[in-house]
């Protein structure tokens, strides 16, 4: 995955939130600043093989982790569980590479499911997944010493998968909430004024991000 899918998704969402003047534009402004700072660090301190540090992506992950941690109640257990699963993946890849078919995809999807099952909320899942990625970097660096010829921090598959799945998930949540509010307004109007066709204007925002 050489093409930076994750960066383009974040850029598109940032432009969309600013054009529509949504409350989430503050989050994407912080993400843009974090990415630029990380990119500047990459230019000043370029990575040498085999360790390829993508500081721009790591900065974005760190900001998302701190932001999500503020919006969730269950923090410790989901983070420990997802970190344990990712540590298992690292050890498997070092000791028995290829023993599990599609291991990279498996150990990317499973932590998301584990985080969701232990938090039962969107931001809790995001916090657990991003936090486990950050914690796992040190283990990857230690276990792969003298073994690999090239390693990305963070892994390109994990980065692109995480950005896409949580962006789509957030979009579906916003659409679902919008539909529910419209249905509730429609029901209330029909119960009060069943004979006329008075319409209401919806001004809902992403209240969770405020």
pLDDT exceeds cutoff 70 at 206: no
138's tokens: 């040190």
What pLDDT is stored for residue 201 in this prediction? Answer: 37
**pLDDT higher for 183 or 197?**
183
**pLDDT value at residue 153:** 87
pLDDT of residue 190: 67
Check pLDDT > 70 for residue 98. no
Q: 29 falls in which pLDDT band (50, 70, 90)?
A: very high
The string of pLDDT tens digits covering residues 7-22 is 999 999 999 889 988 8
> Does pLDDT of 204 surpass 70?
no
* Residue spans of alpha helices (H) in 21-144: 25-44, 55-70, 76-95, 103-119, 122-143
Whether the per-residue pLDDT at 85 is higher than 60: the answer is: yes
With 90 as the cut, is the pLDDT of residue 123 above it? Answer: yes
| Per-residue confidence (pLDDT) for residue 183, from 0 to 100 | 82
Q: To 10 degrees, the CA torsion angle through 26, 28, 33, 39?
A: 170
CA neighbor of 205 nearest in space, from 73, 14, 25, 15: 25
Q: Can you tell me the mean pLDDT for 56-79?
A: 93
Residue 1 has pLDDT above 70, yes or no: no
Each residue's pLDDT tens digit, 174-185: 888 888 888 888
């Amino acid at each position: 995955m050489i093409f930076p899918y994750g960066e383009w998704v974040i850029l598109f969402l940032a432009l969309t939130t600013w054009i529509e003047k949504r409350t989430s534009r503050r989050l994407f402004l912080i993400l843009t600043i974090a990415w630029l700072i990380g990119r500047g660090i990459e230019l000043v301190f370029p990575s040498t093989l085999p360790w390829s540090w993508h500081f721009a992506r790591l900065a974005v992950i760190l900001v998302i982790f701190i932001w999500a941690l503020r919006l969730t109640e269950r923090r410790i257990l989901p983070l420990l569980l997802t970190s344990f699963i990712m540590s298992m993946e690292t050890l498997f890849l070092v000791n028995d590479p290829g023993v599990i078919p599609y291991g990279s995809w498996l150990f990317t999807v499973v932590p998301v499911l584990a985080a969701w099952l232990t938090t039962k909320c969107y931001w809790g899942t995001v916090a657990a997944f991003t936090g486990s990625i950050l914690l796992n970097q040190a283990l990857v660096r230690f276990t792969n010493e003298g073994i690999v010829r090239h390693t990305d921090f963070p892994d390109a598959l994990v980065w692109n998968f995480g950005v896409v799945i949580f962006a789509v998930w957030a979009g579906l949540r916003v659409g679902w909430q919008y539909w529910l509010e419209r249905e509730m307004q429609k029901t209330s109007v029909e119960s009060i004024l069943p004979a006329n066709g008075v319409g209401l204007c919806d001004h809902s925002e992403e209240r969770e991000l405020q």
